[in-house]
Amino acid sequence: MATRTEADQRLVDALTESWKTEHQSSATYRLLAEREPDERRRALLVKLAEAEARHAERWAQRLRELGAEPPATIPGVPAGIRLRSRADLDTTLRLIEATEEEHLRHYEGEIAALGDPATSAIAHEVAREEGQHARTLRAMTGAAGNDQVRGRLESILKGERHLNSGNWIADAIYGANDGLGAIFGLVAGVAGANASSRFILLAGLAGSVAAAVSMGSGAFLAAKSEREVHDAEMARERREIQEDPAEEKEELSLFYQLKGFSEEEATRLAERMSQDESRFLSALASEELGLSEERLPNPTTSLLSAMISTGVGAIVPVIPFFFLSGVTAIVVAAVISLIGHFAVGAAKSLVTIRSWWASGFEMTLIGVVVGVVTYGVGFLFGAVGG
């Protein structure tokens, strides 16, 4: 009996603490709403405050069912949050976002472990809403700034991600860069050790094949992993839609409100999107997780692009040794390698905003450094070995 009483007391203590936490969160959101100049963000904060107050009432009701009463004094806003909110609302919101994540873990872990089915059921429901609160705060702080136009612009820019792993042109350029740089260094190092032209040719060919296969397989696995993560996140989001479509519609509506739509417009858009499950899922994945099927890389394309471009770049420093030997071959290899570095650097301007000549000159300079350093290392080892 004593053990049961101790268990009951632990349950009451945990529920009381949860009641305090929810009231504290509600008061915090109301304070932030008072200090928030943007009307839409202020309305969202008021909604969050109301939701936290409902959570507190659920815990109070459960306490009464167990024969206990919640404390007479309702807690207010923590002093640290109150002071911080005067200086920077967005930083405060990010801090509270982390707090919401802690609440979520608390409800999914400690409360569920108390062994009371009724309490666990409440905790499961509250945890789901706390997760929604964290996502709402993440969206609010992600659309940084109190100006709705700026917030929408940053959301658009964040969503575009012009240069991504699905861009095979960028992959090819960087693959050629890696292959050229690595094998030029290898050839220079072996040449510095005073090796024969035949040995340099053999080392260069072996290195070219190894670099191409390694880069290709790495690109394939990276693209495959990205797709697997995407599929897992989409499956999780699809399950959330099936379990609570109303909450997911509200979530999408909140994201649209943060982009500048009125509550009525956002709700109407979310309702329209929800009528088509695949479109609804795609919209939620894009807004909440930044996922897009169109931006995913194709593993096969990534493999071929990385492997071929790396191989092409890698073979450049080796070509002279097919036809020449001795110092002549080394000099010619250095010249065409540096020309290759400039060409690859200039090609990078296709996927960056830098001028072609600046990018080309930078790559050429890097090539010179690689060649000098590796030749010097090879020369030292050759001297020691000799």
Averaging pLDDT over each range in 135-144, 321-330, 376-385, which range is the top one? 321-330
Q: What is the pLDDT of residues 247-267, one digit of tens each?
A: 888 888 888 777 777 778 788
Domain membership flag for residue 142: yes
Please give the tally of structural domains in the chain.
Answer: 2
Residues 6+ apart with CB under 8 A from 32: 45, 85, 89, 92, 93, 96
Identify whether residues 120 and 178 lie together within a single domain. Answer: no
The pLDDT assigned to 149 comes to 41
Average pLDDT for 307-313 = 91
Q: Could you give the percent of the chain with pLDDT greater than 70?
A: 80
Average pLDDT for 114-121 = 78
Higher pLDDT, 11 or 159: 11
Please state, in angstroms and as integers, the Cα–Cα distance from residue 302 to each residue in 152, 219, 285, following that order.
32, 6, 24
**321-347 per-residue burial string, b: 16 or more CB within 10 A, e: under 16:** beeeeeeebbebbbeebbebbbbbbbb
CA-nearest of 6, 26, 2, 4 to 14 is 6
Please state, in angstroms and as integers, the Cα–Cα distance from residue 178 to each residue in 144, 167, 215, following that order.
37, 17, 9
Identify whether residues 22 and 124 lie together within a single domain. Answer: yes
Averaging pLDDT over each range in 117-121, 125-129, 211-215, which range is the top one? 211-215
Domain membership flag for residue 199: yes
Q: What is the pLDDT of residues 329-354, one digit of tens each?
A: 889 988 998 998 898 888 876 666 66
Domain membership flag for residue 163: no
Higher pLDDT, 330 or 170: 330
Pick the last residue of a domain from 86, 121, 156: 156
Q: Could you give the percent of the chain with pLDDT greater than 90?
A: 9
Domain membership flag for residue 162: no
Does the pLDDT value for residue 158 go beyond 50? no
Identify whether residues 133 and 261 lie together within a single domain. Answer: no
Identify whether residues 186 and 89 lie together within a single domain. Answer: no
The pLDDT assigned to 319 comes to 92
Please state, in angstroms and as integers, the Cα–Cα distance from residue 16 to each residue in 7, 9, 22, 54, 363, following that order.
14, 10, 10, 15, 64
3-class DSSP state of 8: helix
Q: Which domain holds residue 304?
A: 168-385
The pLDDT assigned to 348 comes to 74
Identify whether residues 380 and 232 lie together within a single domain. Answer: yes
Identify whether residues 123 and 251 lie together within a single domain. Answer: no
Pick the last residue of a domain from 156, 191, 210: 156
Averaging pLDDT over each range in 103-107, 195-199, 257-261, 288-292, which range is the top one? 195-199
Identify whether residues 127 and 198 lie together within a single domain. Answer: no
Apex 42 CA angle, 40 and 290, nearest 5: 60
Average pLDDT for 351-360 = 74
Whole-number Å distance between alpha carbons of 176 and 314: 7
pLDDT grade for 2, boundaries at 50, 70 and 90: very low
The pLDDT assigned to 159 comes to 44
Averaged pLDDT score across all residues of the chain? 79
Identify whether residues 313 and 180 lie together within a single domain. Answer: yes
Average pLDDT for 60-81 = 85
Identify whether residues 151 and 205 lie together within a single domain. Answer: no
Pick the last residue of a domain from 156, 184, 201: 156
pLDDT grade for 103, boundaries at 50, 70 and 90: low
Domain membership flag for residue 349: yes
Average pLDDT for 178-196 = 88
Whole-number Å distance between alpha carbons of 59 and 18: 7
Range with the poorest average pLDDT among 15-24, 183-192, 249-258: 249-258
Does the pLDDT value for residue 144 go beyond 70? no
Whole-number Å distance between alpha carbons of 77 and 54: 17
Domain membership flag for residue 306: yes
Does the pLDDT value for residue 96 go beyond 50? yes
The pLDDT assigned to 79 comes to 77
Average pLDDT for 65-79 = 85
Does the pLDDT value for residue 381 go beyond 70? yes
Identify whether residues 128 and 210 lie together within a single domain. Answer: no
CATH number at residue 76: 1.20.1260.10
Identify whether residues 241 and 359 lie together within a single domain. Answer: yes
Tokens of 228: 């697997």
Averaging pLDDT over each range in 90-104, 130-144, 204-218, 231-245, which range is the top one? 204-218
Domain membership flag for residue 161: no
Domain membership flag for residue 100: yes
Identify whether residues 357 and 381 lie together within a single domain. Answer: yes
